[in-house]
Structure 1
């Protein structure tokens, strides 16, 4: 069935162009800020502190890291403003997006009183969210100042919780949830968003950091980058688990049957997203089962030339492929409006004990598979390592 036929027969409203651009841009902003700060805290910062790191390589990485964090603050600030204007353009009877960009109109929108049954005005939630967003962006943008870069740790670790709070605060419902399902929706939604932004944003950050490697890092930088990739691989595995676990819940909520993936417009876009995520997982598998063991072998053999080639030339190529796939996922997200169940006339999803039991089994199976993946990668790395020379 063609996409045109789907659009003509299904109750699906194609989002306006401003909505597509602002929503995708907002997730790019979150990926830049959350992905960069979490990756710095969990991978870059620990790697910089290892005894093997050469001072020159550490200084080069800190400078590049500071610049990336500073620009991520700019992206977050701009994306947040356009996202806020888009909310106004879609509120009530709506208005042209160009008119919604006016600060006065945005302020009036934010000061609107709470609706009936709401425990707080939605505008109040948006105000708090955007105040935190400005604070996070300001902290990151301050890294453009050379004197502030001396305090990279303090700035990055301050911006990290603020960046996470931007997403978490925005998910707070203005109206109390009706039931357990409605209470769980924002929880799984945030798990999905944060897991995805750390995954995609972290990959993009490390890929960018590796670009100027030939001119900025020394011949011994392979050890530093081997440690970086190893640490982020673990972070990526956790993110994959979070994305897939939350994705199971969200897919069940919005898709009533497998066939709805190709018989509804929502399902069509969801299927594209699933295939892109699967491709990212496959690319990550190449890193885990092929590149990481080779890197471990070169590191233990003290083969600096091979280690530098693998970590700064070969590995980033695969990572860039993942970044492109991740960008494609973010481009698809704005089209996931509505529900395949609604389009197909299926009954809404209602949780039960059996649903939660089946979900628990799937989650445990997923957790076990990710654990096996990590252990298998470690085993391959040990097996690839050469035996110690006899004395």
Structure 2
């Protein structure tokens, strides 16, 4: 293996960490809305969401650990097998190592709590949400914003940005691949619950997008610092790619909200007639495309974290 391969592998692992964290957030929110009432259908979906929380939290923890391992090896210009002293030094002597250790410890708490339950819906949510907030804050302290100081405004803005994009992406991914397939087979009595879920999804995703735009504009401009850096630096170019992906995903989400959702909600709420799957199919197709675009945005975010700010090299 060479440094180039390790660098690419680290980016892939950071992107996987971003996706796992987003899916974790999306699964918890989805279970909260579906658990407003109980039924066999709801219990079945909650069971799948609990499994998703377990897989997502474990994936987030392990991808973060391997990415940190590779980072230490690259910083010390050593192989993975020889990176032990560098890992120890990073954990004990650097703020980056302290932030990573705090985030990893909190994510381990999430993993333990997710496996310490078998009942549905998901339990220990307050503790899990508190740990998730701490993980996001630790990640913000391990990136560019911490250059302004510990618990500075850029750090808190980045924290809100990370949570907002995780809510949006996580809800889209979980809805696309877990909830929507179950809505197709939902009994008549549970269609109203499905309609409430779709409405909650749209409302929260829209709110998260608004937060994302505000915090992203602040952090993005602070990062490039000058208009010409948008196209004259790698950081700026990746930022433009991420912006294009976010705008594309927002357009797809807007299409679903204003053109597909009215018909879908009407068909789900009309329990007096046979369910027509066509509106749900159209809604699902747009969600699938949006999920792929947003996965690309998380990959771009992973590259941004690893790219030097303009003027610092």
Partner residue, 1:26: 17
- The whole-number CA distance in structure 2 between the counterparts of 1:155 and 1:182 is 27
Relative to structure 1, the CA distance from residue 126 to residue 213 in structure 2 (aligned partners, 3 Å threshold; closer, same or farther) is: closer
After superposition, the C-alpha distances for 1:248-306 in whole angstroms (9 at most, x for unaligned) are 11221123454543333322221111110001100110121112221233345446544
1:291 aligns with 2:260: yes
Aligned-partner SS, 1:154:
coil
Relative to structure 1, the CA distance from residue 296 to residue 258 in structure 2 (aligned partners, 3 Å threshold; closer, same or farther) is: same
- The whole-number CA distance in structure 1 between the counterparts of 2:23 and 2:184 is 24
Relative to structure 1, the CA distance from residue 15 to residue 70 in structure 2 (aligned partners, 3 Å threshold; closer, same or farther) is: closer
Number of equivalenced pairs: 307
- The whole-number CA distance in structure 1 between the counterparts of 2:227 and 2:275 is 46
Written as runs of structure 1 = structure 2, the 5 A alignment for 1:3-152 is 16-41=7-32, 43-46=33-36, 49=37, 55-91=39-75, 93-97=76-80, 99-100=82-83, 106-107=87-88, 109-112=90-93, 122-142=96-116, 148-150=117-119, 152=121
Relative to structure 1, the CA distance from residue 162 to residue 182 in structure 2 (aligned partners, 3 Å threshold; closer, same or farther) is: closer
Aligned-partner SS, 2:308:
coil
**Further displaced range: 297-306 or 31-40:** 297-306
Largest Rg, 1 or 2: 1
CA RMSD of aligned residues (A): 3.3
Relative to structure 1, the CA distance from residue 328 to residue 302 in structure 2 (aligned partners, 3 Å threshold; closer, same or farther) is: same
Contact 1:254 1:341 in 2 (8 A): no
Relative to structure 1, the CA distance from residue 194 to residue 318 in structure 2 (aligned partners, 3 Å threshold; closer, same or farther) is: same
Contact 1:23 1:334 in 2 (8 A): yes
Alpha-carbon distance, 1:193 to partner = 0.9
Contact 1:69 1:141 in 2 (8 A): no
Q: Could you list the runs of 5+ residues in structure 1 that have no partner in the other structure?
A: 1-12, 115-120, 143-147, 344-391
Relative to structure 1, the CA distance from residue 304 to residue 261 in structure 2 (aligned partners, 3 Å threshold; closer, same or farther) is: farther
Partner residue, 2:308: 338
After superposition, the C-alpha distances for 1:169-220 in whole angstroms (9 at most, x for unaligned) are 333479xx78689922211111111111111112111112136437853344
Alpha-carbon distance, 1:88 to partner = 2.0
Q: Could you list the runs of 5+ residues in structure 2 that have no partner in the other structure?
A: none
Written as runs of structure 1 = structure 2, the 5 A alignment for 1:200-279 is 200-210=169-179, 212-213=181-182, 217-279=186-248
- The whole-number CA distance in structure 1 between the counterparts of 2:216 and 2:160 is 9
**Further displaced range: 18-27 or 296-305:** 296-305
Written as runs of structure 1 = structure 2, the 5 A alignment for 1:299-314 is 299=268, 301-302=270-271, 304-306=273-275, 308-311=277-280, 313-314=281-282
**Further displaced range: 328-337 or 199-208:** 328-337
- The whole-number CA distance in structure 1 between the counterparts of 2:60 and 2:147 is 33
Contact 2:14 2:64 in 1 (8 A): no
Aligned-partner SS, 1:152:
coil
**What TM-score does the superposition give when structure 1 sets the normalisation length?**
0.68
- The whole-number CA distance in structure 1 between the counterparts of 2:78 and 2:132 is 29
After superposition, the C-alpha distances for 1:300-343 in whole angstroms (9 at most, x for unaligned) are 544654465434x3322211111101111112223321234668
After superposition, the C-alpha distances for 1:109-143 in whole angstroms (9 at most, x for unaligned) are 4233x6xxxxxx5544433322211111222244x
Relative to structure 1, the CA distance from residue 138 to residue 202 in structure 2 (aligned partners, 3 Å threshold; closer, same or farther) is: same
